[in-house]
Amino acid sequence: MDELSEQRFRERAVELWPITRFTAAPHLLSPRLTRSIPALSRRGAVALFVSAALPVAAGPLLLVLLPVDAAADLRKDTTVVVVVWLVLLLLELGRYGVGFLPLVTLYCLLLGGVVASTSLYEQRVLHERGRWMQVTVVDQKHASRSSSTYCSLRSVNDGVVLRRSLDGCDDLAVGDRLRVFADPSGYAAPTRDPGDSERLGPTVVVPLEAALSVSLAATIGLAAALGHRRRGRKGLLGHAAGEAEARFGRYRGSRRALSQPAPSAGPPESEQRLRELMRARAFDRRGYIRVLPGEFLGITQQRAAQIAREEGLRAEAYGNRGSWRFGERVVEEVE
């Protein structure tokens, strides 16, 4: 593939990313990764994203493999890691080119997988540690954003208030006595109907969670394959696309600005002097290269910003006071 100009890259990128601005992604912090990822084959892209999905898939599985006490200590930390990693992974998939609708569908599927994993964990806890208890309702709360009702319960035998509340207790009132199936340690919410909890032992829960983890990883791999095909249709695959994305792909302008033609070139001698000045990297104490626009006749600020991106710099749009400033980091980049 021939080298992509900024104009051609803009035209194709506008149709690729699902939101009005270029999708942010962690790999953009590394120019090497920014060049390499668009150059991957379909198998390479699928392998990369499936590998990146391992923490999301393995985290819930770890909770059902460990003993209940150890899993309870790690549950909160594992949930935070899985959720944060899932958000980063979805950003990467959006950047790679997965369409908006598939991305939303994938988000719902993955969120449902996390919820199902939590349910499996609690079913396992009730299977191993649950017992029937006589309790009394001591408090009742109605959720403000849903129709759910939660009841705080006190054990009749020892007078201890259970750590977890009973969900779906609209038919109860404070002072009512009932029988619930609960974990005394509070690792799982009590229930009036244990259902599958009495049958779901480790020999059942572990294979179910393993199948769920494999399904999550396979879903992410399928999304990566769809993103690869979509990139191919837009002509944003290969080494040339990777080079163009590294040079122009950090642009954060609006969709309207992306669809506008790239700034026209100025006089060659002015552009060459500006490039030499940027390549010299003579930064001031604030990390800027400062120039006066009058010294580079025929070059607009937008064209100067384009040249800066081609040279690995950014053009500052904030507080210039009549000059142009270029740096590796800026407060607000010129669109």
pLDDT in tens, 84-93: 888 888 888 8
- Mean pLDDT rounded to a whole number for the chain: 79
pLDDT value for 251 = 47
What average pLDDT does the segment 270-287 reach? 86
pLDDT value for 293 = 82
The residue count of the chain comes to: 335
User: Which pair of structure tokens corresponds to residue 86?
Assistant: 């899932």
pLDDT value for 94 = 85
Q: Does the pLDDT of residue 6 top 70, yes or no? A: no
pLDDT value for 254 = 44
Report residue 76's pLDDT band, with 50, 70 and 90 as the boundaries. confident
Please report the sign of the dihedral spanned by the C-alpha atoms of residue 121, residue 122, residue 127, residue 128. Answer: positive
| Contacts of the segment 188-194: beta carbons below 8 A, 24+ positions apart | 188/121, 188/122, 188/123, 188/125, 188/126, 188/129, 188/130, 188/164, 189/122, 189/164, 189/165, 190/133, 190/135, 190/153, 190/162, 190/164, 190/165, 190/166, 191/126, 191/166, 192/166, 194/126, 194/130
pTM of the model: 0.61
Q: Phi, psi (5° rounding) for residue 183?
A: -95, 120
Q: Does the pLDDT of residue 183 top 50, yes or no? A: yes
DSSP class of residue 331?
S
Q: Which residues contact 285 (CB under 8 A, 6 or more apart)?
A: none
| pLDDT (tens digit per residue) in 122-181 | 777 777 778 888 999 998 888 766 677 888 899 988 888 888 888 888 888 888 898 988
pLDDT value for 93 = 87
Q: Which of 35-49, 97-111, 228-242, 248-262 has the lowest mean pLDDT?
A: 248-262
| pLDDT (tens digit per residue) in 212-242 | 788 888 888 998 998 899 888 888 888 888 8
